[in-house]
Structure 1
Amino acid sequence: MADILAPEIVSELGEGPIWSDGRLYWFDILGKRLFSAPPDGAVPRIWQFDEHFSAAGRIPGGLILASETALWRFDPETGTKARLVALEADRPETRSNDGRADRQGGFWIGTMGKTAPIPENGALYRYYRGELRRLRSGIAIPNAICFAPDGRRGYFADTRQDRIFTWPLDAEGWPEAEPEVFHDFAAVDGGPDGAVVDAEGALWVALWGGSRVLRLRPDGSADAEIALPASQITCPAFGGDLRRLYVTSAWAGLDAGARAAEPEAGRVFAAKVAVPGLPEPMVALDGTP
């Protein structure tokens, strides 16, 4: 049975949860908002933006945020942000989507079309010590960005293809060779959305349209799942003692009847897991690890 964090908050498109300094942060991409809440029921904090924000990573003194036009340094105490580097700022038809820090201090972020998720619009980038580099284009809906415990393997999905890919990484976290299929979801109820890796190297994958989070072992086989009271499950994150899995969800695209049937859609769920997660790495903004 899953609990609900901050039940007063309902997101049209909840995404990008990350645990930092005793609080969970997450986004409503379509609502252009960032939320933060501790697990003790205290009043959440809300920041309203003027563009779409979707993902975050930890940095000293705050967070790195990804938006439709840039990567930003954000101070939760003051609510101020400063632009680090442009991200497809010249392409108003796209926005950022899923993202996560790698084990070497880099930050990966995907982009996609705002209204038409076609391969020509999507790409995958890595920000590393002040430089943003495009790693791959032709991805319709980039998702499931996460990394093996030793940092030598990355994962990403194209939700439109119903596949998660695995990609070998070098000692500095740059891709080597070509990605290979890790798991095919063609026969699974729901498509792969966000994902996070636990201490055993297994992926917890949110299933958009599947009402659950699925655990995939490092060999790609499924061995556990957590059922949730919403169909559009978007992204998991470990928090607290790292045995708590927080999962965002969405009501975007549901008609009135479907929303009535899913009153919890758009909320953040929390469930205990047997295998702990890993702390989110710090992102290096310059030459300092």
Structure 2
Amino acid sequence: MSDTAIAVSMYSDIACRLGEGPTYDPATDTAWWFDIEGRMLLEKPGNAPEAIVHRLPVMASALAVIDGDRQMIAAEDGLYLRDTATGRLTLHRPLEADNPVTRSNDGRVHPSGALWIGTMGKQAEAGAGAIYWYRAGELRCLYERVGIPNSICFSPDGTTAYFTDTQVNRLMRVAVDPASGLPVGEPALFHDHSGGEGGLDGSVCEADGTLWNARWGGGTLDAYSPDGTRIRRVALDARQVTCPSFIGPKADRMIVTSAWTGLDDAGRRADPHAGKTFLVDLPVCGRLEPKLVL
């Protein structure tokens, strides 16, 4: 099950305290990701030798492209419009702005253009977070009392959403309306990792329905077939990997973020690439990210 022949290289050697939220804009051939705790947005165009760092005034965790001029950023107190050219942020919609305990976490755009975004306690307080749906100016809470929302991604046809609470470690699936991205059924178990090594973190779905998950504390990128069976495992040179994203004009490569948060000096010496972002070259048929419907 372990893949040793797959080429894994360094995509960015900037060590993020809590790297998260990688995504890719095919129109500009640019990858974006965050250092949540470091309050940074990182940008890497095409084959640029290193990422550009944009400092942020808030902790932020997910980015969605609206059009050629604007992006949406999910942050600790709301959804912000970001001017792509200048980096200027404008609050679009508050999100738990009256709750200083929480911040945003994992999120991804459904094929309909709806954003699913999770919140969690800044100290990972049990049950402090939630998962929300946003589309065309409307914001709804889908699931409450979530500890660490992760693995938000969608089947290629938009009929299934996946998510997890990393504190529970059970990857769930739920039927959704492909036209809106709203749930139309009750969540059901997709894969039970409770009691397993590490925690289920961020995920992304291939065009054939294969789900790739970054396993926090396990140092691997794991692939699951549409029936929930783990079918591949790719070892990465950091224990706390956080989230994958397809990149490239054909979406046939992946980047994976990681984190060094929580490691003491000895832990960082033992895990020298913690927080860096990896490039995984393997035959995948990924999917380009849809644009957000504002």
| 1:218 counterpart = 2:223 | no
The partner residue of 2:149 within 132, 142, 146 is 142
What is the CA-CA distance between 1:82 and the residue it aligns to?
1.7
**8 Å contact kept, 1:99–1:107:** yes
The separation in 2 between residues aligned to 1:238 and 1:116, in whole angstroms, is: 28
TM-score normalised per structure 1: 0.95
**8 Å contact kept, 1:143–1:193:** yes
Deviations 1:137-181 (A, max 9, x none): 011110000000000100001000011100100232210121011
Partner of 1:278: 287
SS in 1 for 2:279: strand
TM-score normalised per structure 2: 0.94
The partner residue of 1:256 within 251, 260, 265 is 265
The separation in 2 between residues aligned to 1:159 and 1:43, in whole angstroms, is: 31
- In the alignment, structure 2 segments of 5+ residues that lack a partner are 1-6
What is the CA-CA distance between 1:187 and the residue it aligns to?
4.2
SS in 2 for 1:40: coil
The separation in 1 between residues aligned to 2:192 and 2:154, in whole angstroms, is: 18
SS in 1 for 2:146: coil
Amino acid in the other structure paired with 1:19? Y
Deviations 1:95-129 (A, max 9, x none): 0000000011100100000014311x110000011
RMSD: 1.1
Partner of 1:42: 49
The separation in 2 between residues aligned to 1:162 and 1:43, in whole angstroms, is: 34
**8 Å contact kept, 2:24–2:32:** yes
Q: State percent identity of aligned pairs.
A: 43
Written as runs of structure 1 = structure 2, the 5 A alignment for 1:118-157 is 118-119=126-127, 121-157=128-164
| 1:29 counterpart = 2:65 | no
**8 Å contact kept, 1:5–1:39:** no
The separation in 1 between residues aligned to 2:44 and 2:181, in whole angstroms, is: 31
The separation in 1 between residues aligned to 2:149 and 2:12, in whole angstroms, is: 28
Name segments (4+ residues, structure 1) moved above 2 Å. 41-44
**8 Å contact kept, 1:5–1:41:** no
**8 Å contact kept, 2:110–2:153:** yes
What is the CA-CA distance between 1:224 and the residue it aligns to?
0.9
**8 Å contact kept, 2:105–2:150:** yes
The partner residue of 2:16 within 5, 11, 20 is 11
What is the CA-CA distance between 1:235 and the residue it aligns to?
0.2
| 1:102 counterpart = 2:110 | yes
**8 Å contact kept, 1:55–1:99:** yes
Partner of 1:59: 66
Written as runs of structure 1 = structure 2, the 5 A alignment for 1:109-258 is 109-119=117-127, 121-170=128-177, 171-240=179-248, 241-258=250-267
- In the alignment, structure 1 segments of 5+ residues that lack a partner are none
1:283–1:274: structure 2 CA closer, same or farther, 3 Å change rule? same
The separation in 2 between residues aligned to 1:116 and 1:98, in whole angstroms, is: 13
**8 Å contact kept, 2:76–2:95:** yes
**8 Å contact kept, 2:12–2:278:** no
How many residue pairs are counted as aligned between the two chains? 283
